[in-house]
Amino acid sequence: MPARNSVLSTAEVRRPLVIDHAVAEFARGGYHGTTIADVAREAGISPAYVFKLFPSKERLFVSALEECFARIVGALEAGAEAAEDQRAETVLTAMGDAYAHLISDRALLMLQVHAQSVADVTEIGDALRAGLARVTTFVKSRSGGSDEDVQRFMAYGQLCHLIVTTRVDEIPEAWAILLSNGITHPA
């Protein structure tokens, strides 16, 4: 059998590029508000070529969501590695800080929010749950935290999502101050 050529095919090169543009476009317009043509235009290719790479809009969205969760796990790992020590509390705090920096551009955050809004689409709901399972399992194994610590970490992350997406931290009313007290995100 001949050795595999080390030159990547056009599809192998373009697939990650299309996924990157899909992350940005679906984050901006959501599943229902984004078309294959939108992603294709941003990627500089034809809609037909996007369909060649991804047989359906659902598959493209799922690929973008999988990339989102891969980036999240990468950021959490980097945060854990940068922790001052390897106690669970310190690692979880460092992971949270790394995640806050990751979502400061909001694309990954908004993609997750949009995925939650269409989780009733079977393929998307399955991918969303798989991503959450991947993150939760990683956080548990890497931090060494208790189940309660990991649950609190994940719940805190969802509160951060709410604060960032609704800009609650910019509201000077008592209820908003209560929700956002102690929570800061990079500008």
- The predicted pLDDT at position 5 comes to 52
pLDDT, tens only, 121-146: 999 999 999 999 999 999 999 999 99
How far apart (Å, rounded) are the C-alpha atoms in residues 92 and 7?
A: 41
pLDDT, tens only, 29-72: 999 999 999 999 999 999 999 999 999 999 999 999 999 999 99
- The predicted pLDDT at position 187 comes to 65
- In the predicted structure, residue 11 carries a pLDDT above the cut 80: no
Mean pLDDT of the chain: 92
DSSP percent split of the chain into helix, strand, coil, nearest 5 = 80, 0, 20
The whole-number average pLDDT for the span 154-174 is 91
Highest mean pLDDT out of 2-16, 79-93, 95-109: 79-93
Do residues 43 and 13 touch, judged by C-beta distance below 8 A?
A: no
- The predicted pLDDT at position 165 comes to 87
Domains of the chain: 10-180 (1.10.357.10)
How far apart (Å, rounded) are the C-alpha atoms in residues 47 and 53?
A: 10
Q: Say what the pTM is.
A: 0.89
How far apart (Å, rounded) are the C-alpha atoms in residues 178 and 134?
A: 31
Lookup result for tokens 């390897």: 86
C-alpha 106 chain-centroid distance: 9
The whole-number average pLDDT for the span 146-163 is 94
